[in-house]
Amino acid sequence: MSSQSVQQKKKIAIVGAGLVGALQACFMAEKGYHVEVYEMRDDIRKSEKVFGRSINLALSCRGKEALRMLGLEDEVTKNGIEMFGRMVHDYKGGTKFIPYGKENEAIMSIDRRKFNELLISAAESYSSVYINYCHKLVDCAFDRRELTFEKSETKELKTVKFDIVMGCDGAYSNLRFNIMKNTKLQYSQEYIPDRYMELRIPPNADGSFMMPKNYLHLWPRTTFMLIGLPNVPDHSFVMTLFAPYQIFESLDSDRKVIEFFRANFVDALEMMGEAFVTNAFRTLPPLPLVSVKCKPYNLEDYGVLLGDAAHAMVPFYGQGLNCGFEDLIVFNEFMEKYDHDFKKVLPEFSEYRSIDAQAMNDLAMRNYKEMKADVNSRLFILRKKLDNI
Ligand code: FAD
């Protein structure tokens, strides 16, 4: 028997059915494994409201390639919209376009919930994948290869056996926490001083977009910024204000909020409406942004961290998820290279992948300065060039 067929008898447990966990379930099922996924939330396809970070995601070529490998690219991208560059808004509402690349290169804006639902359905279409909803990982006994979950309805504990466990449980990964208790995992996390708040520009009365649709709209204001991504399902724009928490704290009355928006984002304020904005500031707490690095990503030959569980990054490069999907491409390549021999695949994957992922983490941190401040000087240079033509 080849190493591959021996290994395929192993039971894979994936913790987390977010975007990375659901896609990894598809990859492992394609390779012939039996996969049990454990997700703490209920099935989001049946839920009215889904709590989570960011309503929209920018999907770039890294992410698209992983989807293409499983034949899912078209299904996902038809639920999104292309963004060909940044549309930069000045203080008076004037705009300037900065393309992302040459010849109409674009990234896609995708509705996060719809995206996750599609990947969960894709995972469940394999007869060898079973998703256990409302199962929250609470403990691990690695020596016995056991995971303990708490069922959300009854609080009952359930212990299951695994051969290989994959932690796709996000930035606050419980699997990573348990690995840290048992091994010498290097770990660092950083909360940046900025927070974010999601707002919305609704569609026009006739259902059309209020701003040109194929752009990432950006209001760079040096120490803070507002961005807007087009949202296909309802033709709204999902707006995100990123600012130091001191700014959020200082906006403690409706009057101050309106003055701040009038001074900095007058066109966006008009489209969102004053009542909507003041209500958002009264009811929505600004959310923190965390960057996580750790190494190694593997636990000997039976555990691995993927996606945000391994490398959560601040969102300014729009690459957190894309990088998580790229983990899966690289993981897949090591599975081929070492004929499914996890003794080799897991440590080699960790060694190789952590270098690139940590670099992406650093780039994401640096791109905040580019987006909120440096983009203004780039516009200045662009204007100069145009003046000289
Ligand atoms: P998650 O999406 O966090 O999924 C983890 C899953 O695990 C969830 O379903 C959760 O319920 C489950 N889970 C957690 N704990 C447990 C437990 N104990 N037991 C069982 N299940 C558990 N990235 C991009 O590429 N492009 C963007 O444009 C972009 N924009 C962003 C904007 C903002 C404001 C933020 C905050 C992030 C953004 N990101 C973006 C990053 C992106 O959201 C993450 O990189 C991506 O969601 C990571 O996916 P994941 O599956 O690894 O983790």
Measured in Å, residue 271 CA sits from the centre of ligand 1 at 29
Q: Which two tokens stand for residue 147?
A: 């995971």
pLDDT at 389: 45
Which atom of ligand 1 is found nearest the CA of 309?
A: 52
Of the listed ranges 8-12, 59-63, 197-201, 296-300, the least confidently predicted one is 8-12
pLDDT at 51: 62
Mutational test site, ligand 1, from 26, 54, 137, max ligand atoms within 8 Å of CB: 54
Confidence of residue 354 (pLDDT cuts 50, 70, 90): very high
CATH number at residue 152: 3.50.50.60
- Tell me if 229 is assigned to some domain: no
Which atom of ligand 1 is found nearest the CA of 307?
A: 52
- Tell me if 240 is assigned to some domain: no
Measured in Å, residue 114 CA sits from the centre of ligand 1 at 14
Average pLDDT over the chain, rounded to an integer: 93
Q: Kindly report the protein residue whose alpha carbon is nearest to atom 15 of ligand 1.
A: 169
Which atom of ligand 1 is found nearest the CA of 16?
A: 7
Which atom of ligand 1 is found nearest the CA of 149?
A: 19
- Tell me if 96 is assigned to some domain: no
Q: Kindly report the protein residue whose alpha carbon is nearest to atom 3 of ligand 1.
A: 170
The boundaries of the domain holding residue 359 are: 3-80+111-188+290-368
- Tell me if 30 is assigned to some domain: yes
Q: Is the pLDDT of residue 48 over 80?
A: no
Alpha-carbon span 72 to 222, nearest angstrom: 39
Measured in Å, residue 179 CA sits from the centre of ligand 1 at 20
Measured in Å, residue 18 CA sits from the centre of ligand 1 at 6
Which atom of ligand 1 is found nearest the CA of 323?
A: 25
- 105 vs 388: which has the higher pLDDT: 105
Angle value at C-alpha 265, between 260 and 266, nearest 5 degrees: 95
pTM: 0.94
Alpha-carbon span 86 to 368, nearest angstrom: 14
The pLDDT tens digits for 233-266 are 899 999 999 999 999 999 999 999 999 999 999 9
Share in percent of the chain as helix, strand, coil (round to 5): 40, 30, 30
Of 361, 352, 340, 346, residue with least CA distance to 7:
340
Which atom of ligand 1 is found nearest the CA of 63?
A: 25
Measured in Å, residue 308 CA sits from the centre of ligand 1 at 6
DSSP characters over 100-138: SSSTT--EEEEEHHHHHHHHHHHHHTSTTEEEETTEEEE
Measured in Å, residue 230 CA sits from the centre of ligand 1 at 20
- 377 vs 256: which has the higher pLDDT: 256
In this structure, the residues whose C-beta lies within 6 A of any atom of ligand 1 are 15-21, 38-41, 53-54, 57-58, 136-137, 168-170, 174, 196, 240, 307-308, 315, 318-322, 324
Of 256, 245, 240, 254, residue with least CA distance to 197:
240
- Tell me if 51 is assigned to some domain: yes
Mutational test site, ligand 1, from 172, 308, 328, max ligand atoms within 8 Å of CB: 308
Measured in Å, residue 19 CA sits from the centre of ligand 1 at 7
Measured in Å, residue 108 CA sits from the centre of ligand 1 at 18
Alpha-carbon span 22 to 20, nearest angstrom: 6
Question: Residue type for 95, please?
Answer: T
Measured in Å, residue 91 CA sits from the centre of ligand 1 at 33
- Tell me if 152 is assigned to some domain: yes
- Tell me if 64 is assigned to some domain: yes
What is the average per-residue pLDDT within 193-200?
95
Confidence of residue 371 (pLDDT cuts 50, 70, 90): confident
pLDDT at 280: 96
Measured in Å, residue 60 CA sits from the centre of ligand 1 at 16
The pLDDT tens digits for 276-335 are 999 999 999 999 999 999 999 999 999 999 999 999 999 998 899 999 999 999 999 999
Measured in Å, residue 260 CA sits from the centre of ligand 1 at 31
Q: Kindly report the protein residue whose alpha carbon is nearest to atom 33 of ligand 1.
A: 54
Of 289, 311, 279, 221, residue with least CA distance to 54:
289
Q: Is the pLDDT of residue 80 over 60?
A: yes
- Tell me if 161 is assigned to some domain: yes
Measured in Å, residue 171 CA sits from the centre of ligand 1 at 7
Q: Kindly report the protein residue whose alpha carbon is nearest to atom 46 of ligand 1.
A: 321
* Number of domains the chain contains: 1
- 318 vs 102: which has the higher pLDDT: 318
Alpha-carbon span 164 to 61, nearest angstrom: 29
Q: Is the pLDDT of residue 217 over 80?
A: yes
Which atom of ligand 1 is found nearest the CA of 58?
A: 28
Alpha-carbon span 114 to 185, nearest angstrom: 35
